[in-house]
Amino acid sequence: AKALGKARYCLFNKTMHQIAVSRLRLETDLRRALERQELRLHYQPLVSLKTGEITGFEALVRWEHPEQGLISPDQFIPVAEETGLINPIGWWVLREACLKLRIWQLTFPRKIPLTMSVNLSGKQFAQPGLIEQVDLILRETGCDRNSLKLELTESAIMDHSDANSILENLRALGVKLDIDDFGIGYSSLDRLYQFPINTLKIDKSFVSRLDAGGRNVEIVKAIVTLAHTLGMNVVGEGVESSYQLTQLQALNCEFAQGYFFSRPLDSKATEALLTSQPKW
Ligand code: C2E
Ligand code: CA
Ligand code: CA
Ligand code: CA
């Protein structure tokens, strides 16, 4: 038993060591990813449930690692947050998304101009100089600021004691503010009411459970009612079936996003999609 214990101990140690090494390599590689231009943006359409048309896109970052291929943000955003690399990465994402917004608004003119949604992490939200940096990127890229939507999670906002004044300052720049993954964090409804938020994005876990009916439908209904009472729009995230789409429509949700319409696409495929003018 003693020998076995020792063997287990070594195995455990080796695994921990491997994790530490690969984690360190990831960090070193991530540091170079920006200068080596390995980051990419993919775009997922946001669809109006009234018209069935694309109204905008959410920019989602990917990392084209020279050896490991395309790495999803869930695998490197947490490391980027721990190391502070989220700041340069986040600013790159914002700049790139603003440039695309400007080009696509010119190339694909609409009655209501296309929107672009960009994720801001909690670390970015808490960073001093945030307002100045966003303003600088808006001016340098010359994009239509009223069409830019910044997505923040409930925890990013609620964790911050001075959230309201930051949000007010962001809004004063002309951009829109959306709450991401709504329903899974802990929102103080009292504070939510005070915040200058335009849109609640219902977390995909609720949308996927719409199929089960019953209680799940009631929860989404309650979120939509809450949003509308507070003068906000609602996006249903992670729509994968026409049944979920119909349910969200029946519950008066304004927008939807999900694999049912399109997976996130690279820039070229997004342009092809816009050219084909799909209607759902
Ligand atoms: P998120 O902001 O909630 O983005 C939605 C995620 O759900 C995306 O994953 C998207 O591909 C996925 N998704 C969309 N439709 C469906 C669907 O119908 N079914 C399912 N199962 N999934 C769907 P992705 O691109 O892997 O991004 C994961 C998360 O990484 C994002 O979640 C966001 O929190 C973070 N992230 C992505 N890009 C950025 C960024 O530029 N900055 C920051 N701070 N975070 C980012
Ligand atoms: Ca998001
Ligand atoms: Ca989300
Ligand atoms: Ca998420």
Rounded-to-integer distance, Cα 93 and Cα 116, Å: 12
Rounded-to-integer distance, Cα 36 and Cα 30, Å: 10
pLDDT of residue 22: 81
- How far, in Å, from the CA of 152 to the mean position of ligand 2? 8
The finding on whether 240 has its CB within 6 A of some atom of ligand 1 is yes
pLDDT of residue 5: 59
In ligand 1, the atom with minimum distance to the C-alpha of 61 is 38
Strands of 226-270, DSSP E: 233-236, 255-256
pLDDT of residue 6: 59
| Per-residue model confidence as pLDDT tens for the chain (280 residues) | 555 655 666 666 778 888 888 888 888 999 999 989 999 999 999 999 999 999 999 999 999 998 889 999 999 999 999 999 999 999 999 999 999 999 999 999 999 999 999 999 999 999 999 999 999 999 999 999 999 999 999 999 988 889 999 999 999 999 999 999 998 887 788 888 889 999 999 999 999 999 887 888 999 999 999 999 999 999 999 999 999 999 999 999 999 999 999 999 999 999 999 999 999 9
The finding on whether 72 has its CB within 6 A of some atom of ligand 1 is yes
Please give the C-alpha separations between residue 57 and each of 44, 136, 160, 170, 247, in angstroms, as whole numbers. Answer: 5, 22, 27, 20, 22
Q: State pTM to two decimals.
A: 0.94
pLDDT of residue 205: 94
Which of 93, 119, 184 is the best mutation target for the ligand 1 pocket, counting ligand atoms within 8 Å of the beta carbon and taking the most?
A: 119
- How far, in Å, from the CA of 165 to the mean position of ligand 2? 22
Q: Which protein residues have a CB closer than 5 Å to ligand 4 (ion)? A: 181
* Burial (CB count within 10 angstroms: exposed 0-12, middle 13-18, buried 19+), residue 60: buried
The finding on whether 93 has its CB within 6 A of some atom of ligand 1 is yes
